[in-house]
Amino acid sequence: MSVESKINIAVIGATGYTGLDLIYMLCKHPKVKIINLCATKNLGKKISFFDKRIKKKLPKITNLKKVKWFNVDLLFLSLPNGEAQKIVKTLYHFKHLKFIDLSADFRIENYIEYKKWYSISHNAKNLVSKSVYSIPEFTGKKIKKFRIIANPGCYPTSVQIVLLPLLKKSLINVKNIIIDSKSGYSGAGKNYKKKFTHKNFYESIYAYGIQKHRHMAELDQEFRKYSKKKVEYTFNPHLLPTFRGILSSIYLEVNKGISLKKIYLELKRSHLKNKFVSINKINTSMGNGNVLKTNKCEVSICQTRHNKKIVIFSAIDNLVKGASGQAIQNMNLLFNIKENVGLK
């Protein structure tokens, strides 16, 4: 950090949905100074051209090559998969420099698995072991041991906040978990119109990623760390005709002797000190309206009409807690700042 006790920040991939949300939130953070905004296009333009919410005077968009890296404390990378690893590899020799990657490049600890799921050969294999996958609620102070922080995916964030504590305590049947997640279309990025060409896009619900969605790689990896048994689950995401937000409906069977109240109490206990996770009263109906444009995760545990089967709802904003907000939360932990500073 600089002598002024502010973190000097650079952002690469400044003009995407997550990049713009990140910059908007960083502008309100009292402990940071944005000194570089980088992109491959629109060089010389003001960032406010792309997002009218950003009123603060900031550097114009520049080329990566013009950045004076010895002045930068932290680099946020908000890039397509496969791009961040190249940049981190090039810059890792600056020993003071830390990285928070919002793509999938450092999320998967096994680079062979990464290639399997993303069809990209990893260009920074030796750095994968020097990175940490970080949902702050579970990583905690361990994050300070690393310079490369892998920011988790949006769907896995909504799911793991609920499931990891229950898997750790062996409270649920791991053989038949169903995860039904619905997201606003911003989760598909600015090029969503090229990816999803079905009719009536803005008036319909669309299921995709059937059998093999890339976020399953993260879920598989993290479930193995918390469960003594192999977790067998079905995950299917859907796009909704709304811009932002995620609601995951997670269908579970509790283990013998475990009550709905026990599940509720365990989640309450696990997240007692977590400022951004709120657990509703049992059997509370909910949507994602309360969490939009916040870094919060709202959870509700409900009984189905079948005695041992329950459904847990988990709501986040895919662009905030599922991306940029969580990245700032990770930054706060990394630099010994209170976890909720600059976030709501």
Round to whole Å and give the CA distance between 305 and 195. 38
Contact 104, 20 (CB under 8 A): no
**CA dihedral over 7, 10, 14, 19, signed as positive or negative:** negative
Q: Specify the length of the chain in residues.
A: 344
Round to whole Å and give the CA distance between 297 and 275. 10
Round to whole Å and give the CA distance between 7 and 336. 11
Full strand arrangement of the beta sheet holding 148-150: 61-62, 32-38, 7-12, 74-77, 98-101, 148-150, 131-133
Kind of pairing between the strands at 74-77 and 7-12: parallel
Measured CA to CA in angstroms, residue 323 lies from 17, 60, 303 at distances of 10, 23, 30
Q: Is 154 a catalytic residue?
A: yes
From the candidates 27, 38, 154, 297, give the one annotated as an active-site residue: 154
Give the E-state strand segments of 13-51 in sequence order: 32-38
Measured CA to CA in angstroms, residue 335 lies from 2, 137, 141, 289 at distances of 12, 16, 10, 31
Active site residues: 154
